[in-house]
Structure formats: C-alpha cells, structure tokens
Amino acid sequence: MGLYRDEAVVLRTCKLGEADRIVTLLTRRHGRVRAVAKGVRRTRSRFGARLEPATHVDVQLAEGRSLDVVTQVESLGPFGARLAGDYPRHTVASAMLEAAERLTAEEREPALRLFLLLVGGLKALTEGEHDPRLVLDAFLLRALSLAGYAMSLDACARCGAPGPHRAFAIAAGGLACPQCRPAGAASPSPAAVFLLRDLLTGNWPGADSTEVGTRREASGLVAAYLQWHLERGLRSLPLVERSPAPPARVLDPA
C-alpha cells in the first residue's frame, strides 16, 4: 500500500460505522479525495479536531482499495473552528466548501487553482476584513471561471460585441447585446454589474464601498448563475445568513 502526503482542505465529513468518519478533501496535488479517518469520533482520537470541515491540513494518506486511509494529519489553519463561533460566517464557509466539492467533477482530477482559491477564500473569511457575503460571491464567481463558466461582464456573452451591455442572460453566460438579448433577460443595475466585475477581478476597495442593496442584487445574480451551471443548486446557499456578525468566539483546537 502506497503512502502519499499532500496539503488539503477538509470539505465534508460523514459518519462511518461506530467511530470512523469518511472525509472529503480537496488536495493541492491530487484533486478531490475521499478517505477514511479511523476512530476520530472516539474520545482519545489524535486527529478528530484536525479533520473537521474547513480545516487546512497537511495530511498523509495510505492508498486503499476503495477509499484511502488517513494516517497522519497536522493542522495548518483551523478555519472551521475559528468560524464556528460566528454563525453567518460559518454558513458562508459551508457554501464555499459545498461549491468546491460540486465544481470538482471527478475525484483525483488535479484542481490546484481551485484549492488555492478555497484556502484564500477561507483565510479572507476568517480575517474578517470584508463582508462575508462578498467573500462568498467573489469565491463563487472565480470558482465558476475555473470550471469554465466565466461570467461575461463586458463583451456580449453570445456574439462578443464589445460592451457595456444592459441585459443579463444567465443561459448565454452573462451580459448580452441588444441583438442577442433573449426575451425575459434581466436588466441589473450598472452598480451591480460593476460589483460583479470587482469581485471577479479582486478589486476589493471597489467591492467594499458598495451599498447593501447593490450587494443583494449581485448575490442574486451569482446565485442564479450558479444554479444554472450546477445541475441542482447548492443546498447551503439558501441557508447562508447575511446579518451582521456577532464577535467571533474561538473554539479551542486540540
């Protein structure tokens, strides 16, 4: 049985049998990997806390026949534990993890850029400099781009005619010119389109200075766009809370 070591973010855990868990990891070099963590639900488990969702870890895995087995794990960043005391941010982290899982179609298909984007997103969320929902929308827009679904926010998504255009056609992939504009296309406010552009390109000063109404509008467009490109929407997205966050309470990582 081969051993290998990688860096990873824990996307999801589920219970297996009496005391084990199956953990889904997004690794730096091996893409999405599912592995068994033995005995982690028991009292004296060495790595229970390090394999909680949204933890950035350095992990050693043993190749198994169906699932690999976690043999060692060190925490590099307990983002999940830092966010658990802040409910709105916790819901945002959940949506980021679910999106990362859903946007990696195949297990073990390398997804280095998505991995880096996720670590960066969780870090930004923990540092708390920006509105959590902006961090989420930026993450979703960029993760969709990496998956080949870049939102077209300048040229017409259908014919490429240079913008700016007013109509937003989800199925076409973004803004559409008057000729290509399908019936029933939305006409978002220019401010919302600017915000989407800022989020996609990482212009944080621009994004941070927007009004709440503009943010809501942009979030709605991102959610609809995501829903269109993923067969079923994200289960966590309707549960994401927007309310201002209470001060974070820290959970002691063991």
Partner 1 sequence: MYEGAVQDLIDELGRLPGIGPKSAQRIAFHVLQASATDVKRLAAVLVDVKDKVRFCKVCGNVSSAELCRICADPRRDPAQICVVEEPKDVVAVERTREFRGRYHVLGGAISPIDGVGPDDLRIRELLARLADGTVTEVILATDPNLEGEATATYLARLVKPMGVHVTRPASGLPVGGDLEYADEVTLGRAFEGRRQIDV
Interface residues toward partner 1, by CB under 8 A: 12, 15-19, 40-45, 47-54, 80-81, 84-87, 90-91, 94-95, 97-98, 235-236, 238-240, 246-247, 249, 251-254
Q: How many residues bind Zn ion (CB under 5 A)?
A: 6
CB of 157 to Zn ion, least distance (A): 8
With CB under 5 to 8 Å by kind, the binding choice for 239 among partner 1, Zn ion, none is partner 1
Our measurement of the distance from residue 31's CA atom to the centroid of its chain's CA atoms, rounded to an integer in Å, reads 15
With CB under 5 to 8 Å by kind, the binding choice for 217 among Zn ion, partner 1, none is none
CB of 252 to partner 1, least distance (A): 5
Structure tokens at 191: 């401010």
C-alpha closest to that of 108 among 8, 254, 237: 8
What letter would DSSP give residue 238?
A: G
- Give the C-alpha distances (Å, rounded to integers) separating 30 from 21, 74, 133, 136: 20, 18, 29, 24
156 lines the binding site for Zn ion (CB under 5 A): yes
C-alpha closest to that of 254 among 93, 55, 107, 59: 55
- The letter for the amino acid at 178 is P
Phi-psi sector, 83: left (phi>0), alpha (psi -120 to 50), beta: alpha
CB of 55 to partner 1, least distance (A): 9
With CB under 5 to 8 Å by kind, the binding choice for 177 among partner 1, Zn ion, none is Zn ion
CB of 168 to Zn ion, least distance (A): 13
